[in-house]
Structure 1
Amino acid sequence: MSERSRAQLKADVDHAYGLQIRAGSKGAAQIGAAGLGAVTIAHYTWPFFRRQTLPFKAFLVMGSAMAGLVIGADNALLTHEAERRRTENAIRKEARMDIARRGLVPTETEIARWRAEQGR
């Protein structure tokens, strides 16, 4: 693997990680706020819930925030991966068509050469 492709791969990984952090934080805040609201409403409307301990109520709020964090980060990563797959497939399709027009068989080696030519 060349130094340039390693650097590109590291940049892609860092970008995906940044997306996960932002989406996870947003999901944790949104779902955590919803959990806090649900616990507050349950505290004031349900006598059985009012008798529960504060650590249990905090556990419910933090559990909802953690669920929001995980779901938000996972959805962002899945969306990012799907977009990357779409663009990769479009590039490979264009490469296969161009290589076939030249009268060559579009093998992985030929596609890699085509990418190197296009990169210049």
Structure 2
Amino acid sequence: MDRRALLGLKESAVKTGGGGGAPEPSYMRLPTVTANVRRAGGGRGVMTVETGLDTPNPALRTRVTQSAPRLRAAYAAVVQQAANGLLPGAPPDVERLVAQLQAATDRTLGRAGARLLIGTVMVV
């Protein structure tokens, strides 16, 4: 976690010319989310989802940084629900998963503006 962003020091360093003056990137990668699934043979498996957020608005980007733990919890709930509904041996419905994760993002942040990006969805 970048504690300077929580305190607003990174943003003020860019405004005053300190810190190199490079614009802050709009993409933020979040930790991988995992959930348990039932495999075709009756064993247990793991569903893994890599996520990130693209947030061009600097004010909303700060909110995303501050809300990262809440976003991870919301994503974990969505992925676990999707994994529970997954039939053994069936592939996950990625389109539906993305729509549910985007809705969880908007709900957690309180408004739209942060675009969810999916890296990998894998069931092993």
Fold match (TM-score > 0.5): no
Q: TM-score, normalised by structure 2?
A: 0.31
Which has the larger strand fraction? 2
Higher Rg: 1
Name the structure with the higher helix share. 1
